[in-house]
């Protein structure tokens, strides 16, 4: 496929523009890019109908982690209304070069749960992104609450996070883990504040579910394309 064909726009959804190359990524065993994750996170059907939940795009999460100006960061974050959210999910990328828009080679997920005042990092490849998740945590922790108590939020590495079985499914693990955490939050069952969603993630984020997610996202895009 030539470059122009790969760059061809196939779908505009919310603020996300998907291209032909994104279909190729989803059709084969390839690493998900920012656009695909942002598309999935922007879907009302990705298990976050509640206004209490916010799933941030990769570009916004990356900027929060790497913004050199704390004052500018405050203005940037105000429209997101983080203090109003009970659950906030951040995709984490290991890109160290702010000049490269889609750099990096690994995705993980950082979730903030207000009831427990804790940030939890889920990494499907050991603790490969721990340094990057910590950077994001330190950048945003002062903005998630309206009182000084937010600064006391804890950071936790979830060592029981299901591990990927290949070198390219990390982004899919992020999408499936995000969906699982959102479903846990939305469920009417009594939530265990000590266990949080860890048992649900361990049970539901499996290689087969992750593999199906690739097909599911591809199907969602094709359905939306057909409705254009």
Active site residues: 106, 123, 170
Pairing of the two strands 154-157 and 118-122: parallel
Query: Residues 120, 110: contact at Cβ < 8 Å?
Result: yes
Residue 55's beta-bridge partner residues?
89
The set of residues, in sequence order, having a beta carbon less than 8 Å from that of 218 and lying 6+ positions away, is 23, 26, 27
Percent composition of the chain: helix, strand, coil (DSSP 3-state, to 5): 50, 15, 35
Instruction: Compute the distance between CA of residue 69 and CA of residue 82 in angstroms, rounded to an integer.
Output: 19
**Are the C-beta atoms of 30 and 168 separated by less than 8 Å?**
yes
């Amino acid at each position: 496929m030539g470059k122009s064909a790969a760059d061809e726009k196939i779908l505009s959804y919310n603020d996300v523009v998907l291209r032909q190359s994104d279909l190729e990524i989803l059709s084969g065993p390839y690493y998900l890019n920012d656009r695909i994750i942002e598309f999935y996170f922007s879907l009302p059907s990705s298990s976050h109908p509640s206004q209490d939940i916010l799933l941030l795009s990769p570009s916004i999460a990356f900027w929060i982690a790497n913004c050199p100006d704390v004052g500018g960061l405050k203005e940037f974050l105000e429209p997101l209304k983080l203090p109003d959210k009970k659950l906030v999910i951040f995709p984490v990328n290991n890109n160290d070069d702010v000049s490269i828009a889609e750099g990096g080679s690994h995705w993980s997920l950082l979730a903030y749960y207000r009831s427990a005042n804790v940030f939890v990092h889920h990494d499907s490849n050991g603790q490969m992104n721990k340094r990057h998740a910590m950077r994001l945590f330190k950048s945003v922790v002062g903005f998630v609450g309206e009182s000084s108590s937010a600064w006391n939020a804890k950071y936790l590495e979830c060592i029981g996070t299901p591990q990927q079985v290949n070198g390219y499914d990390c982004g899919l693990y992020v999408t499936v883990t995000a969906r699982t955490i959102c479903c846990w939050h939305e469920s009417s069952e009594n939530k265990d504040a000590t266990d949080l969603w860890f048992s649900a993630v361990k049970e539901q984020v499996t290689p087969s579910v992750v593999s199906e997610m690739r097909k599911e996202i591809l199907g969602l895009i094709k359905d939306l394309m057909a409705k254009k």
